[in-house]
Amino acid sequence: MAPRSRHSWLGLLLGLALGFALASRLLPPGAGPLSRLQQQQQRRRGGGLVCGGGRRPGQGGRQAAPEEAEASGSRLVYVGVMSAKKYLRSRAIAAQRTWAQHIPGRVEFFSSEGSDLSLPLPLVALPGVDDSYPPQKKSFLMLKYMAERHLQAFEWFVRADDDTYIRGERLENFLRGLNSSQPLYLGQTGLGTPQELGKLALEPGENFCMGGPGVILSRELLRRVLPHIGQCLREMYTTHEDLEVGRCVRRFTGVQCAWSYE
């Protein structure tokens, strides 16, 4: 009985070893239940998108460079935030530490020439630009900067103010339902105040996206506008920055701010 018992145990151990060996060869890498659970958790977290250019919320340091954002898969949206020297240490840094951490892409702040680049935020000091208001030149040159440096890296581009709060998760859900290869110009539609009617050089039915709530431009729209930014800067009819951006978009692309029912 003792020899048979030893042979039975030996056979059982050999069978288990052979079974594990066959399973490791037949199953593809990462096909186990733990891997599936990890994949489900990643999908629930948003498909692997990083927050705030590759940093966890609350972390300091720089944001990911465009090529790093592209490599990580976080290519959805580039947000350009217009600020001024006097607001960099307050509004801009507050935005950088809060909602900017949750944008599925990249956030950069734009200010005038001579701004303090040692501040703990991704800052672009636009040459030849001051902090005068309305910020027409700053806005157009920010769009030019976006297009020339980041057009191929991101699908969508947002023009925002430093006192705007953007909910990154909702923005992502909204943009993923749209096609960035279409020329789209999105925001809160404006027509001017009643006192300004007839003074804004707008034809009946023409509109613009108001700057305060933020403006979204698709990659295709920005591509079409880029060659004409210089001309738009030279040929402005009013002092309204958002109106003149809308005029430029409509003039050279035939697109105007989408009405809510569209």
In a domain, 45, yes or no: no
Q: Is 120 helix (H, G, I), strand (E, B) or coil?
A: coil
Q: Are 122 and 39 in contact (CB under 8 A)?
A: no
Show Cβ contacts of residue 54 under 8 Å, excluding neighbours closer than 6 positions: 63, 64, 68, 69, 72, 74
Residue 177 counted as domain residue: yes
Q: Is residue 27 part of a domain?
A: no
Residue 30 within any structural domain of the chain? no
Q: What is the CATH number of the domain that holds 188?
A: 3.90.550.50
- Number of domains the chain is built from: 1
pLDDT of res. 9: 46
Distance (Å, whole) CA 7 – CA 204: 95
**Is the distance from CB of 163 to CB of 228 less than 8 angstroms?**
no
pLDDT above 70 coverage of the chain, percent: 71
Tell whether 237 is covered by a domain.
yes
Q: Which residues of 172-202 are buried (b: 16+ CB within 10 A; e: fewer)?
A: beebeeeebeebbbbbebbbbeeeeeeebeb
Please give the residue range of the domain that contains residue 170. Answer: 66-253
Per-residue model confidence as pLDDT tens digits over 106-135: 999 999 999 999 999 999 999 999 999 999
Give the pLDDT confidence of 192-224 residue by residue, as tens digits. Answer: 888 888 889 888 889 999 999 999 999 999 999
* 119 within some domain: yes
Cβ atoms of 149 and 221 closer than 8 Å: no
Q: In the chain, which ranges are E strands?
A: 77-82, 105-111, 123-125, 156-161, 185-186, 189-190, 208-209, 215-218
**pTM metric for this prediction:** 0.72
Give the Cα separation of 20 and 203 in Å (integer).
Answer: 76
Residue that the structure tokens 């991101």 belong to:
154
111 residue type, one letter? S
> How far apart are the C-alpha atoms of 110 and 88, rounded to whole Å?
10
User: Does some domain include residue 239?
Assistant: yes
Q: Are 160 and 82 in contact (CB under 8 A)?
A: yes
Q: Give a yes or no: residue 142 inside a domain.
A: yes
Cβ neighbours around 242 below 10 Å, total = 23
Two tokens, residue 239:
């002092």
Q: Which pLDDT tens digit goes with each residue over 87-111?
A: 999 999 999 999 999 999 999 999 9
Q: What is the mean pLDDT of residues 163-169?
A: 97
